[in-house]
Structure 1
Amino acid sequence: MREISLDRLRTLVAIADGGSFADAARNLHLAPPTVSLHIAELEERIGAQLLSRKRGQVRPTAIGEALVERARRLLADAAQAMDDVQRQVMGLAGRVRLGASTGAIAHLLPQALDELREQHPAIDVQVAVLTSHETLARLADGTLDVGLVALPQPPVAGLAIKPWRRDPVMAFVPAHWRSPARATPEWLAAQPLILNDATTRLSRLTTEWFAAAGHHPMPRIQLNYNDAIKSLVAAGYGAALLPHESTTPTPDPRIVMRPLRPSLWRRLGIAHRAAGVERSTQHVLDVLWKQRLG
């Protein structure tokens, strides 16, 4: 079945508005035979007469009037769709899909999103809580536009993965514990621990940090939500190893932070498709790069 062309509908509306084929031809910058051809094709497609000529004026028939009413809405919707797309092409509006871990979403994204809202209020950022592996997979298949991922990562064809931040991993310890000025693997391995679960890059980092000193502690509990871990530390349930971003609020007074010896760093990168970055996505990347540290 042949579809009805918007150009044909536009011609029908122009005739209804102007009352003649000649006026429609002038307004649409078409040759008169082309206007006649458009109407003939429409009437053949519909299977009914759409226009009638009375006293030298062209008017829609009842069927034509119904089609003109629908055509006006279709043409307005098409114009609005083109305007919306053009605004996105120009970077004035759009939707950007971003993947990140809970830690980045809780403490690193809010400041960037607030700045984006002030500069580009019509850009909507849709955030998904994902592991780094999931983020890279979705970037590769085109269902994400930007990702915040733990580093290092192997190269992925078609993606750009660049260093973004380097934040120190600290020992978060209940304030009522007697703790050293610097937390060592030996001291922490002897304490009850609350650690990130094994699906996270931070879990692998801390496991390697302990193993380098010959320790393999078993945590009391493993979670993948840093704020919940801090709440358990504040309650005295155990100590934790977590990254400390300089922009995060002051910890709960029931928690003290101790630097690690040897030091340990959590590195994050920004990932996106290497080619064809839309302007709205570039605006999101720009505000994220302003938070680059380390």
Structure 2
Amino acid sequence: MRELNLDRLRTLVTIADLGSFAEAARVLHLAAPTVSLHMADLEAQVGAPLLLRKRGEVRATGVGEALVERARRLLADADETLAVVQRQVQGLAGRVRLGASTGAIAHLLPQALEVLGQQHPGIDVQVAVLTSQDTMARLAGGTLDVGLVALPQSAVHGVQVEPWRRDPVMAFVPSKWQAPTRATPHWLARQPLILNDEGTSLSRLTTDWFAAAGEQPAARIQLNYNDAIKSLVAAGYGATLLPHEAAGSTPPDPRITMLALRPALWRPLGLAYRTGAVEKATQHVLDVLREQRQA
């Protein structure tokens, strides 16, 4: 059996509501023969009469009433579906999938999401905790719309990356340690270290920083979850190097002291998204994030 045609169902419902083929044609802006053709086609598809004409009035048959009742629900669902899609096309609503590291999600995204919620409350941002490499791969694969990634990134076909901000990398050390005012590679290399997993952008960044001073320290433990690393630092288990996204503020845990690095080290971040046409909901997210751009 062929699928039911929504236009023909709408014609049936309109005739049943108005009790007239002529009035239905006027309301639907159709020619009278077209209305008759719609009904003939629908009755042939169903295999039973749907309407009865009696004394100048048109009424639905029993089968017709059953179909009209269900047709109303189908048409309402279709209208609602179209309205939802149109809102997304217009940028009034929609889902945007964003990937970023735990640090960026915890410290950089909340302000942007608050602004987005005020300006575009119908947009739902779904956030995934991902490495920069995974974010780039998912953008290329079409399963992600926006990403915050460490720079530099190798070129990936179909993905564009623009500079977004940079944050100072700081030494986080237990407050009970006797530490210098600034942490050098030579001093840190002689402390127990809790560092990011090898292969992460931050691991490569800090390894190069140590290597430039002729140091190659081995980490006591390696993790890829910054809050867990900070907890171990607070417990006195070791020191770490992490970006400080909220420059100028004090660490939330008094058991941790932050030290500036000498020489200074910065973690640059980029804003990544797919090239080509950008949906309006995604564009709104990109615009808000660009407003948060930091040199």
Structure 2-normalised TM-score?
Answer: 0.96
2:206 corresponds to which residue? 206
1:284 corresponds in structure 2 to 285
1:43-85 deviation per Cα after TM superposition (whole angstroms, max 9, x unaligned) = 1111111111122211111111111111111111111111111
Distance in 2 (alpha carbons) for counterparts of 1:4 and 1:148: 46
AA of the residue aligned to 2:211: A
Shift of 1:248: 8.3
Which amino acid letter does the alignment assign opposite residue 84 of structure 1?
Answer: V
Aligned equivalent of 1:262: 263
Instruction: Check conservation: 1:202, 1:266, Cα contact below 8 A.
Output: yes
| C-alpha separation in 2, matches of 1:113 and 1:203 | 28
Show CA shifts across 1:132-161 (max 9, x none).
111111111211110111110122222210
CA–CA distance in structure 2, aligned partners of residues 11 and 139 of structure 1: 44
**Equivalent residues of 1:116, 1:287 under 8 A apart:** yes
Counterpart check, 1:104 vs 2:104: yes
Preserved contact between residue 145 and residue 273 of structure 2 (Cα < 8 Å): yes
List per-residue Cα deviations over 1:3-55 (Å, max 9, x = no partner): 21110001000110110111111111111111011011111111111111122
> Does the alignment pair 1:237 with 2:237?
yes
Deviates more, 1:245-254 or 1:186-195: 245-254
C-alpha displacement at 1:214, in angstroms? Answer: 2.0
Distance 2:235 2:4 in 1: 68
SS in 2 for 1:96: strand
Q: Quote how far apart the aligned CAs of 1:249 are.
A: 5.4
Counterpart contact for 1:108–1:247, Cα < 8 Å: no
- Partner in structure 2 of residue 133 of structure 1: 133
Q: Structure 2 vs 1, CA of residues 232 and 259 (structure 1 numbering), >3 Å: closer, same or farther? A: same
Structure 1: runs of 5 or more not aligned: none
The DSSP-based 3-state class of the residue aligned with 1:16 is helix
CA distance in 2, matches of 1:259, 1:234: 18
Q: Please give the residue correspondences for 1:1-294 in structure 2 after superposition, counting only pairs within 5 Å.
A: 1-246=1-246, 250-251=250-251, 252-294=253-295
Q: Is the 8 A contact 2:99 2:128 kept in 1?
A: yes
Question: Take 1:49 and 1:62, find their aligned partners in 2: how far apart are those partners?
Answer: 9
- SS of the residue corresponding to residue 183 of structure 2 reads coil
* Secondary structure class of the residue paired with 1:99: strand
Output the CA distance in 2 between the equivalents of 1:178 and 1:233: 14
Q: Distance in 2 between matches of 1:159 and 1:111?
A: 25
Distance 2:129 2:66 in 1: 48
Query: Which whole-Å deviations, capped at 9, do the CAs of 1:106-157 have from their partners, x for residues lacking one?
Result: 1111111111111111110001111111111111121111011111012222
Shift of 1:292: 1.4
Equivalent AA in structure 1 for residue 238 of structure 2: G
Deviations 1:191-218 (A, max 9, x none): 0001011242101111111122222211
Cα displacement string for residues 223-272 of structure 1 (whole angstroms, at most 9, x for unaligned residues):
11111111111111100000011268521221111111121111110011
On the 8 A contact 2:15/2:58 being kept in 1, the answer is yes
* Counterpart residue identity of residue 284, structure 1: V
TM-score by length of 1: 0.97
Q: Is the 8 A contact 2:167 2:247 kept in 1?
A: no
Report which stretch shifted further, 210-219 or 23-32.
210-219
User: 8 Å contact 1:107–1:247 — kept in the other structure?
Assistant: no
Secondary structure of 1:192's counterpart equals coil
The percent of aligned pairs where both chains have the same amino acid is 74
User: Is residue 107–residue 246 contact of structure 2 (8 Å, CA) maintained in 1?
Assistant: no
CA distance, structure 1, for counterparts of residue 58 and residue 198 of structure 2 = 75
2:62 and 2:139 map into 1 onto residues whose CA distance is 52
CA distance in 1, matches of 2:78, 2:247: 45
The one-letter amino acid of 1:101's match is S
Q: Which amino acid aligns with 1:253?
A: P
Higher deviation after alignment, 170-179 or 282-291: 282-291
